[in-house]
Structure 1
Amino acid sequence: MSTEITTDRLALRPVAASDAGRITDLVNDPRIYRMVSRISANQTVAQTLAWISSHEAGRVDDTKHPYAIVADGELVGVTSAHRDGTWLPFEIGYWLSPERWGKGLMTEATEALMGWLKQRGERSFISGYLDDNPASGRVLEKLDFMKAGRMNIFCLGRGEMVGHVNMARID
């Protein structure tokens, strides 16, 4: 069900097993794993491959659509939509190589993913960001998400509870 998506500067394609080494290298940067609740510190290639191996079933049952973000021929991040069941809105998540921060790439990539989902009839999305990651909040604001509450969540990379801002978008 997933397909390739292109923008002016980016190609989004399903994450592949061959991406495991590059993804593992990138997410082991504390600037990434400390800001994404579901990425542990010191992630191994085996853990990355286990995550990737779950994607095909998720694509088939329309609950998981992770995309590699490719810029200038290089994987620079991931944007994804996932949900526990097809009756729920997709949760949008993402991370980007710190060397690519501040150039609007994440907004562009995630907007393209959400556009693809909207073409398929999706109208509601949820997401959020950790309190000390306001740049992620700005991405969501640019994508017309609105604040919908606050809570504490467990961050694997930090090994502790952290403040989280919940956001939602309904078209």
Structure 2
Amino acid sequence: MFIRSERLFLRPGWPEDRDELLTLVADETVVRNLARAPWPYTADDARRFLDLPEDRFLPRFLITQPGAAGARLLGCVGLSEIQGEANLGYWIAREHWGQGFASEAARAVLSLARSIGHKRIVASHFIDNPASGRVLEKAGFARTGRIVDRFSQGRGTAYPSREYALEFDVPCDCDDDSDNRGVASARMNPARMPPRRHAA
């Protein structure tokens, strides 16, 4: 599965991405903001991440930026399952912070999530990482009002995390992923993820 946005190309990770992925994510300032990445982050961790099986209802992508010299890797974005709900997660390499890549990639994945049948997406960030909250709000999320402790492998401990949610209200216009605010709200009505199906 692939997604093209204004500046980015989102694609699955491949084994040959291991060294470049490791170079970007093996940065404590990146890993400490993630829940599932360990620190130190090693080549084996990168290999295990790239070897994870694909799930069409919980896709994940490497974020790349095409250019004249080829596509450079910027980070990662995708969906995972947390307590029965679809959760948006992402990271951007430190050298590419502050350029809007995370918000653009998040909007692209949310457009896909809506088109494949998700009704509600949740997300969170550790409270000492407010920049991630701005990314989520630009992508259309709203705060739920909850702050909960969430374990971070990189920190080696639980840390307070601010929760967000986005609930899709209308069918997807898959030609326009520029603004999810017009089609979603953060109502807290429960909504399950779409039923899992095996790809043909």
Q: Does 1:70 align with 2:64?
A: yes
- Give the Cα separation in 2 of the matches to 1:55 and 1:91: 17
Q: What residue ranges of structure 1 are gaps of 5+ in the alignment? A: none
Q: 2:49: which partner in 1? A: 51
Deviation at 1:77, TM superposition (A): 0.3
Q: How many correspondences in the alignment?
A: 163
Q: Residue in 2 aligned with 1:38?
A: 36
Matched, 1:159 2:156: yes
Q: 2-side partners of 1:80 and 1:55: how far apart?
A: 13
Task: Give the alignment of 1:1-150 within 5 angstroms.
Answer: 3-56=1-54, 58-59=55-56, 62=57, 64-71=58-65, 72=67, 73-83=71-81, 88-148=84-144, 149-150=146-147
User: 8 Å contact 1:151–1:165 — kept in the other structure?
Assistant: yes
Partners of 2:118 and 2:136 in 1: CA distance: 17
Q: What is the identity percentage for the equivalent residue pairs of Structure 1 and Structure 2?
A: 28
TM superposition outliers: structure 1 runs of 4+ over 2 Å: none
TM-score, length of structure 2 as denominator length: 0.77
* Structure with max Cα Rg: 2
TM-score, with structure 1 as normaliser: 0.89
Aligned-partner Cα distance in 1 for 2:15–2:122: 27
